[in-house]
Amino acid sequence: MSNAVVLEVSGLSKRFGGIVALNNVSLKITKREIVGIIGPNGAGKTTLVNCVTGIYRPDSGKVFFLGEDITGKPPHLIALKGVARTWQKIRPFYNMSVIEAVTAGALLRTKDVLKAREEATEVLEFVGFPKSKFEMLGRNITLIEHKLVDLARAIATKPKLLFIDEVVAGLRPHEVDVIADVVRRVNREMGITLGVIEHVMRFVMSISDRIVVLHEGRLLTQGTPAEVARDPLVVEAYLGTKPV
Ligand SMILES: Nc1ncnc2c1ncn2[C@@H]1O[C@H](COP(=O)(O)OP(=O)(O)OP(=O)(O)O)[C@@H](O)[C@H]1O
Ligand SMILES: [Mg+2]
């Protein structure tokens, strides 16, 4: 079962007015893989995650999760089936505490608030969030702490597949290393399959088993990090855009 298909996207397309954000994209993610999803700005990476998680309904194509057709299903149902994501634009929770924010994730699977709070505590400890700051309000924590809370909230929903969308954007190099370590442990110790959308190449190339490259809504190529890094098509796609 080690190469069981967790996610299969088949011929997925999504337009916004005249913009073709996704153009006939097909790909698979197998159990326990870490798949890096890269591509220049506007390539369609976030739109892909939005179509898989039910935020957007694709214009055509299908999304299968563990063999089940989940195309066009509502986000809550897809989350219950076991697909979680973090958000590219951080959604600050200024007036909520850290522990409350993560408890909200755990409440997807239980109505018992105390149990959810215990689970949230465990997940925050797992991602290495400082215990002394569990009761702090969102407005008083740092950017990396926000990123850890967002990861913890997603993990607290007990996903089988987790998409993280530019989780290290804006972080310092040593903070990137902290997140890389957490993401590896989420995969290895929790057994969660991961889709990692990222511009920071050092990060995504070091943690991914496989890389998928999107460009102008199409799947440009895929392969191991080493194969993709030396692929002339990939170099050209990136050189054709402004540096990020
Ligand atoms: N809700 C929307 N309404 C209109 N256009 C959209 C919407 N969401 C995405 N787009 C457009 O679809 C294209 C793909 O956007 P998307 O956000 O998926 O790219 P991305 O690969 O995630 O880029 P980035 O690396 O900058 O986050 C872009 O041209 C974007 O402007
Ligand atoms: Mg994006």
pLDDT in tens, 4-45: 999 999 999 999 999 999 999 999 999 999 999 999 999 999
What are the residue ranges of helices labelled H in the chain? 45-52, 75-81, 98-106, 113-126, 143-155, 173-188, 201-207, 225-229, 232-239
Read off the pLDDT band of 235 (50, 70, 90). Answer: confident
- The answer to whether residue 1 scores a pLDDT higher than 60 is no
Q: What residues line ligand 1, using a CB cutoff of 6 Å?
A: 16, 19, 21, 39, 41-47, 88
Contact 124, 105 (CB under 8 A): no
The pLDDT of residue 244 is 46
Read off the pLDDT band of 157 (50, 70, 90). Answer: very high
Of residues 83 and 234, more confidence is placed in 83
As given in the structure block, the two tokens for residue 93 are 């929770």
The number of the ligand nearest the C-alpha atom of 50 reads: 1
**φ, ψ for residue 69 (rounded to 5)?**
-75, 110
The pLDDT of residue 12 is 98
User: How many other CB atoms are found less than 10 A from the CB of residue 231?
Assistant: 17
Nearest to 6 by CA among 168, 210, 213, 234: 210
CA of 78 to the centre of ligand 1 (A): 21
The pLDDT of residue 56 is 97
- The set of residues, in sequence order, having a beta carbon less than 8 Å from that of 148 and lying 6+ positions away, is 124, 127, 128, 129, 179, 182
Q: Which helix (H) or strand (E) holds 35?
A: strand 34-38
CA of 166 to the centre of ligand 2 (A): 7
The 10s digit of each residue's pLDDT in 47-69 is 999 999 999 999 999 999 999 99
The pLDDT of residue 241 is 54
The pLDDT of residue 115 is 98
The number of the ligand nearest the C-alpha atom of 165 reads: 2
CA of 224 to the centre of ligand 2 (A): 22
**What number does the ligand 1 atom closest to the CA of 43 have?**
21
Q: Which of 45, 47, 56, 241 to mutate to test the pocket of ligand 1 (most atoms within 8 A of CB)?
A: 47
Name the residues around ion ligand 2, CB cutoff 5 A: 45-46, 88
Domain ranges across the chain? 1-76+162-170+192-244, 83-158
Nearest to 199 by CA among 164, 149, 150, 223: 164
Atom 2 (ligand 1) nearest CA: 16
- The set of residues, in sequence order, having a beta carbon less than 8 Å from that of 56 and lying 6+ positions away, is 14, 47, 50
The 10s digit of each residue's pLDDT in 81-111 is 999 999 988 776 778 999 999 999 999 999 9
- Rounded CA-CA distance 205/174 in Å is 16
Q: Which of 9, 12, 16 to mutate to test the pocket of ligand 1 (most atoms within 8 A of CB)?
A: 16
Instruction: Give CA separation, 59 vs 16, 114, 144, 219, in Å.
Output: 10, 42, 36, 17
Contact 65, 78 (CB under 8 A): yes
pLDDT over 70 percentage in the chain = 97
Instruction: Give CA separation, 225 vs 169, 205, 207, in Å.
Output: 20, 5, 9
Pick the CATH number of 1-76+162-170+192-244 from 3.40.190.10, 3.20.20.105, 3.40.50.300, 3.40.50.1470: 3.40.50.300
The pLDDT of residue 154 is 97
CA of 41 to the centre of ligand 1 (A): 8
**What number does the ligand 1 atom closest to the CA of 56 have?**
1
